[in-house]
């Protein structure tokens, strides 16, 4: 009996070894072409969209803009204040609303997604997507992305409001001087 367990142990040990050796790639460290220099790595991360820049710390200038100083961001939040929001991510540049319906259309709901492509106040700086969910009396719902006037109206309202905010901010700065 002791002989059987000894053979079993060696066979198990041999199978374990073969299994581990066959997974040799798992033990190798992946080579990356990431720069060793931290400044080069930071520049590459920013270029690829994986990091945020707080600017050149040596010359004390900054390129980071807080949400409270971004007129496009503030304007969007102000325009969408009637609808509940589920995601508000300034660093990701996205605002997503919850499903919303007014009292006249209980079976139809909309969801608005606003993506910020740039901080500049112009029409191609925003991407607005509207989804519509229609439910019948049996509770069966269909959701689809729609093209509607809501997108255009929201975009126009956000841009006009952002332009007014930017002008007001400039006037405040001039008065302080």
Contact 142, 133 (CB under 8 A): yes
Residue with the bigger pLDDT between 21 and 113: it is 113
CA 41 to chain centre: 22
Q: What is the pTM of this model?
A: 0.58
> Could you give the CA distance from residue 27 to residue 29 in angstroms, rounded to a whole number?
6
Residue 103 CA: distances (Å) to CA of 34, 94, 151: 55, 27, 21
| Residue 102: per-residue pLDDT | 81
Q: Helices marked H in the chain — which ranges?
A: 2-22, 24-27, 38-47, 71-79, 149-176
Residue with the bigger pLDDT between 151 and 27: it is 151
| Residue 52: per-residue pLDDT | 46
Half-sphere exposure of 165 (CA within 13 A, CB side): 20
Residue 177 CA: distances (Å) to CA of 3, 71, 121, 143: 94, 21, 25, 53
Average pLDDT, stretch 125-147? 89
| Residue 60: per-residue pLDDT | 44
pLDDT in tens, 10-52: 776 667 767 666 655 544 544 556 555 666 666 665 655 555 4
Domain boundaries, the chain: 32-64, 67-176
Judged against a pLDDT cut of 60, whether residue 157 lies above it is answered with yes
Residue with the bigger pLDDT between 69 and 66: it is 69
Return the CA Rg of the chain.
Answer: 28
Contact 126, 114 (CB under 8 A): yes
Average pLDDT, stretch 103-125? 87
In this prediction, what percent of the chain has a pLDDT beyond 90?
29
| Residue 65: per-residue pLDDT | 53
In this prediction, what percent of the chain has a pLDDT beyond 70?
64
Local structure of 140: helix, strand or coil: coil
| Adjacent-strand bridge partners of 154 | none
CATH class of residue range 67-176: alpha beta
């Amino acid at each position: 009996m002791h002989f059987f367990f000894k053979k079993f142990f060696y066979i198990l040990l041999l199978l374990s070894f073969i299994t581990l050796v066959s997974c040799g790639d798992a033990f190798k460290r992946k080579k990356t072409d990431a720069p060793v220099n931290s400044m080069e790595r930071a520049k590459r991360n920013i270029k690829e969209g994986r990091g945020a820049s707080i600017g050149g710390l040596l010359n004390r200038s900054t390129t980071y803009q807080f949400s409270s100083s971004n007129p496009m961001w503030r304007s969007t939040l102000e325009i969408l204040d009637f609808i509940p929001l589920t995601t508000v991510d300034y660093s990701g540049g996205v605002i997503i609303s919850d499903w919303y319906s007014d009292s006249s259309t209980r079976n139809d709901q909309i969801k608005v997604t606003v993506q910020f492509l740039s901080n500049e106040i112009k029409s191609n700086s925003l991407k607005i997507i509207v989804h519509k969910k229609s439910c019948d009396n049996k509770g069966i719902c269909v959701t689809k992305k729609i093209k509607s006037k809501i997108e255009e109206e929201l975009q126009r309202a956000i841009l006009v409001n952002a332009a007014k905010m930017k002008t007001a901010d400039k006037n405040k700065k001039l008065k302080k001087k």
